[in-house]
Structure 1
Amino acid sequence: FNNILTSVLGNVSMARATLPRSGPASNLLTEAEQACVRARQITWRLLTFSKGGVPAKKTLGIAHILHESAGIALRGSAVRCTFNLPPHLWMVEADEVQLVQVFSNVFINAKEAMPHGGVITVTAENVVEADRRSECALPVVPGNYLQVSIVDEGIGIPREHIGRIFDPYFSTKQRGSGLGLATTYSIVKNHGGFLVIESNLGRGTTVRVSLPASSSHAVYQPVEPMAHRSGDRRRVLVMDDEASIRTLTSNMLQFLGYDAEVVDSGSAAIERFAHRKFDVVMLDLIVPGEMGGKEAMRWLADINPSVKAILVSGHTRDAVLADFRDHGFQAVIAKPFTLQELSATLCSVIGTPGWRVH
């Protein structure tokens, strides 16, 4: 299903990037792209809960994650969101996909607590924790944290339920699965963070999510339209066993101003890499019946120890996603991905991309 969704999302995002920002066609494609992103989040949420997805951590800013999560959770509702996100917030080392799940789940619960509409206030701040303690049975280790507070104006949570809201399958809603906040708890725990819940019946609930701050100063930069840069085009080698994904990725790379070559297996990637020079290699993690990305990377590093590579994953539970740098990769990108996400990932690995897209 991820490969099917990759083809749909990739082509929609590429079509949208060819049009002006405003206009009926662009607006319709934006709607389609957002629908694909919501479908992607549902797929990843199911995989995370059922398989216990290993965090594929990278240095992230929080602002775009909060905006995306709110858009997914609140779309079509009478609830609106206000953001207080000051500049110079600390970065976090986190799995972007899983963080979107964390905050989407919190936003969904806040929305359902306000069936007639209302306002959710989101605030982020840098916090230094000096004392060792526990919150919601999660350890708080002294250090620097990025804290996100999500405050609703809903019905509140009864005191007797506060201690159980993160339990799997516990729900006070007639149609609730009890999995959303349990998944949130698991992800925050796996990231070394902690949660605080404050609630008053009839007055609303505050959920505080604290994540360890990163020592890195990398900054997330949304991609914007710009003209093709001058100079030689970068060459990218793509390895994927699915023909449709190879074709799509090649088209996306060419649109971004790169030259792309594609192969269908790890052994074919090794053969091509040994005879051609590439600025970056994109390797699919798992190739049924053939050599996958992790094994191929070892061979590529023997050929050229300075090889730059991106691990492409359908969000499996393989531990290589969490420690991809230990296996020689510079970045991870999860299927399905948009044109903007591909451009940003390439930028992080080999510098300024040929195109920046809206």
Structure 2
Amino acid sequence: MNTILPFSPRFEDLFEVSEVAILVCDLNRLVTHWNPFAERIYGWSPAEAIGQSLDELIYLEPASLQQAYAQVLESGQWSGPLSPVAMRGGFLSVESQWKLLADASGQAQAILICDTDVTERKKLEGQVLRSQRVESIGTLAGGVVHDLNNILTPIHLSVRLLKERASNHEDLEVLETIEACTQRGAELVQQILSFGRGADGHKMDVQLVEVVRAVQKIVQDTFPKNVHFTMTSPEESWDVVGDFTQLHQVLMNLCINARDAMTSGGKLSVDVGHIVLDEHDASMMGPTVPGPHVVLTVTDTGSGINPADFARIYERFFSTKPASSGLGLATVQAIVKGHGGFITVQSALNCGTTFKIFLPARPRAAGILPEAVIDELPRGQGELVLVVDDEAPIRAICRKTLETFGYEVITANDGIEAVTLFAIRGSEIAVVITDIMMPDMDGHALIHALRRLDPGVKVIAMSGFNPRGATSSAVDKWLAKPYNTATLLTTVRQVIDAPGRTRETAT
């Protein structure tokens, strides 16, 4: 049965006081009434709106408009979302309710429309959904990282063994390339995990020049050829205490933004410089600590940033690019702040953009060079090592590496087999190297069982997740997959040589 409301001048009173946009149109969809709140959200005055067609004034999606119009004529009412809806200078999302109005004789005369602006609510809902997706990415990242690190670990160890046997310079060059690519893959995997979990990362002395060179190779290999990359730096660059992978992510994000701003090509310049900030400079420019800083400057000749967007560029999920997640600059700012630094930006439409990142630095003392890397790896003296991992390639290459460097090795493919082997040969085993994530009996359960058999057993735990900062009284050392030969051999030697608790096999 059709729902028809009588049309009455009393509706005029509701028009004036309602906090909802109310408008009336005739059956040809021409506006006849337009209340103050409609003017407030849409921007057009009654004089401008009355007599205009709804199709051209605000409802720009023909299919949705036609569906609403057909249903209100058929059943007397319709309700639902409409988007995009035009306003002066932009667009809205609205929840709309339509009712058919009749004259005194019951003849359909007009359509009453009530619109509620839900634009901000939709934005908040979108942010919540994106936040949930980020959380899901974090969960997914953990599983992906574990699997990828299990793949990369045998490659890392195999390269070293092959380098020991390489007979000519060309073979060594190929192996060094494989080694470098594997290491870069490991860093990217860690970056995924850091992003997904919001990890703090591992900080050490980093030269930003090395970060820039790593990004330069990616830019020159993958960016359009009409984007010309240049780099300048001082002869002696100061160190910053930071996470190489996170700083790499900062620069990579800024370079990607620069590339996207130069749709027809242009110049991308990255400069590394030094500055010493006094207390006044630090308080005015920061917040940061006074003293020496490394300045990373990224300049492009692209389209620039719209002044209206300046205040929002660091907001999570804000982006002017349709396919963007809106997390790039938010991540940049978070990492820079996490390193005790700050970031500035200058931009003008069609004149390019310059980002400057200031990071507290540690100048190198004159005449002091980094200690030379000694390639002599620690060797075993026939000690027996138990390696436990459910991944056969890792067990095999770990065994081969340790045997090559003077150890005896037995292996187990899960915790249950490891407990059995330890019960038989526990007194001979110098150290147990075990994965943490394994089926049936995982690494934690295995370590607990081994401690019951021998409280003094030495244990190295390995994990495809990030064990940095992981602490456990049951573990002597952690190995982060993927690890290389030097890390494996050094860790094993350190644990074996370290003083430990008195070994006593439980009965």
**TM-score of the alignment, normalized to the shorter chain, above 0.5:** yes
Q: Are residues 1:291 and 2:441 paired?
A: no
User: 1:169 is matched with which residue: 312, 317, 320?
Assistant: 317
User: 1:64 is matched with which residue: 178, 193, 210?
Assistant: 210
Q: Are residues 1:88 and 2:231 paired?
A: no
Residue 335 of structure 1: how far off its partner (Å) = 3.8
Q: Deviations over 1:256-300 (max 9, x none)?
A: x675857877x98x999996668xx988677784439x99xxxxx
Q: Deviations over 1:89-117 (max 9, x none)?
A: 22222222222222211121112122333
Instruction: Say which SS state the counterpart of residue 355 (structure 2) adopts.
Output: strand
Q: Which residue of 2 aligns with 1:355?
A: none
CA distance in 1 between counterparts of 2:430 and 2:179 reads: 37
User: Given the superposition, is the C-alpha separation of residues 282 and 108 from structure 1 closer, same or farther in structure 2, using an over 3 Å criterion?
Assistant: farther
CA distance in 2 between counterparts of 1:3 and 1:61 reads: 29
Instruction: Say which SS state the counterpart of residue 193 (structure 2) adopts.
Output: helix
Residue 7 of structure 1: how far off its partner (Å) = 4.3
User: 2:264 is matched with which residue: 116, 121, 134?
Assistant: 116
Q: Which residue of 1 aligns with 2:127?
A: none
Larger relative contact order (CA 8 Å, sep ≥ 6): 1
CA distance in 2 between counterparts of 1:251 and 1:160 reads: 62
Amino acid of the structure 2 residue aligned with 1:119: K
Q: Which residue of 2 aligns with 1:133?
A: 283
User: Given the superposition, is the C-alpha separation of residues 6 and 148 from structure 1 closer, same or farther in structure 2, using an over 3 Å criterion?
Assistant: same
Amino acid of the structure 2 residue aligned with 1:213: A
User: Given the superposition, is the C-alpha separation of residues 68 and 233 from structure 1 closer, same or farther in structure 2, using an over 3 Å criterion?
Assistant: farther
Residue 177 of structure 1: how far off its partner (Å) = 0.9
CA distance in 1 between counterparts of 2:191 and 2:241 reads: 20
Amino acid of the structure 2 residue aligned with 1:291: H
Instruction: Say which SS state the counterpart of residue 202 (structure 2) adopts.
Output: coil
Amino acid of the structure 1 residue aligned with 2:215: S
User: Given the superposition, is the C-alpha separation of residues 39 and 153 from structure 1 closer, same or farther in structure 2, using an over 3 Å criterion?
Assistant: farther
- Over aligned residues, Cα RMSD in angstroms? 5.1
Amino acid of the structure 1 residue aligned with 2:339: H
Q: Are residues 1:47 and 2:193 paired?
A: yes
Amino acid of the structure 1 residue aligned with 2:198: G
Q: Which runs of 5 or more residues in structure 1 are unaligned?
A: 296-301, 352-358
Q: Is the 8 A contact 2:386 2:429 kept in 1?
A: no
Q: Is the 8 A contact 2:292 2:361 kept in 1?
A: yes
Instruction: Say which SS state the counterpart of residue 120 (structure 1) adopts.
Output: strand
Q: Which residue of 1 aligns with 2:468?
A: 321
User: Given the superposition, is the C-alpha separation of residues 237 and 139 from structure 1 closer, same or farther in structure 2, using an over 3 Å criterion?
Assistant: farther
CA distance in 2 between counterparts of 1:67 and 1:206 reads: 19
Q: Deviations over 1:316-353 (max 9, x none)?
A: 4xxx73598xx9999x875445x5xx6489789999xx
CA distance in 2 between counterparts of 1:147 and 1:88 reads: 14
Q: Is the 8 A contact 2:275 2:294 kept in 1?
A: yes
Amino acid of the structure 1 residue aligned with 2:206: L
Q: Which runs of 5 or more residues in structure 2 are unaligned?
A: 1-143, 449-454, 495-507
CA distance in 2 between counterparts of 1:219 and 1:313 reads: 34
Amino acid of the structure 2 residue aligned with 1:193: G
Matched ranges for 1:1-358 at <5 A: 1-11=144-154, 14-15=158-159, 18=163, 26=174, 30=177, 34=181, 37=184, 41=188, 43-72=189-218, 75-77=221-223, 78=225, 79-131=227-279, 132-133=282-283, 139-214=287-362, 229=376, 241-243=389-391, 244-249=393-398, 289-291=442-444, 314-316=464-466, 321=468, 334-336=480-482, 339=484, 343=486
Q: Is the 8 A contact 1:223 1:344 kept in 2?
A: no
Instruction: Say which SS state the counterpart of residue 210 (structure 2) adopts.
Output: helix
CA distance in 2 between counterparts of 1:215 and 1:236 reads: 45
Residue 199 of structure 1: how far off its partner (Å) = 1.7
CA distance in 1 between counterparts of 2:243 and 2:297 reads: 19
Instruction: Say which SS state the counterpart of residue 140 (structure 1) adopts.
Output: coil
Amino acid of the structure 1 residue aligned with 2:210: H
Residue 9 of structure 1: how far off its partner (Å) = 3.6
Q: Is the 8 A contact 2:145 2:192 kept in 1?
A: no
Greater Rg by CA: 2
Q: Is the 8 A contact 2:384 2:429 kept in 1?
A: no
Q: Which residue of 2 aligns with 1:354?
A: none
Amino acid of the structure 2 residue aligned with 1:152: D
Residue 311 of structure 1: how far off its partner (Å) = 8.2
Amino acid of the structure 1 residue aligned with 2:292: N
Q: Deviations over 1:140-197 (max 9, x none)?
A: 2212222211222222212222232221111111211111221121122222121111
CA distance in 2 between counterparts of 1:212 and 1:276 reads: 47
Q: Is the 8 A contact 1:61 1:219 kept in 2?
A: no
CA distance in 2 between counterparts of 1:215 and 1:323 reads: 31
Q: Deviations over 1:118-139 (max 9, x none)?
A: 332222123222133365xx62
Amino acid of the structure 1 residue aligned with 2:272: A
User: Given the superposition, is the C-alpha separation of residues 348 and 314 from structure 1 closer, same or farther in structure 2, using an over 3 Å criterion?
Assistant: closer
Q: Is the 8 A contact 2:146 2:463 kept in 1?
A: no
Amino acid of the structure 1 residue aligned with 2:250: V
CA distance in 1 between counterparts of 2:351 and 2:384 reads: 55
User: Given the superposition, is the C-alpha separation of residues 303 and 47 from structure 1 closer, same or farther in structure 2, using an over 3 Å criterion?
Assistant: same
Instruction: Say which SS state the counterpart of residue 170 (structure 1) adopts.
Output: coil
User: Given the superposition, is the C-alpha separation of residues 87 and 249 from structure 1 closer, same or farther in structure 2, using an over 3 Å criterion?
Assistant: farther
Instruction: Say which SS state the counterpart of residue 238 (structure 2) adopts.
Output: coil
CA distance in 2 between counterparts of 1:219 and 1:348 reads: 26
Amino acid of the structure 2 residue aligned with 1:59: D
Residue 38 of structure 1: how far off its partner (Å) = 5.8
Instruction: Say which SS state the counterpart of residue 312 (structure 2) adopts.
Output: coil
CA distance in 1 between counterparts of 2:337 and 2:310 reads: 18
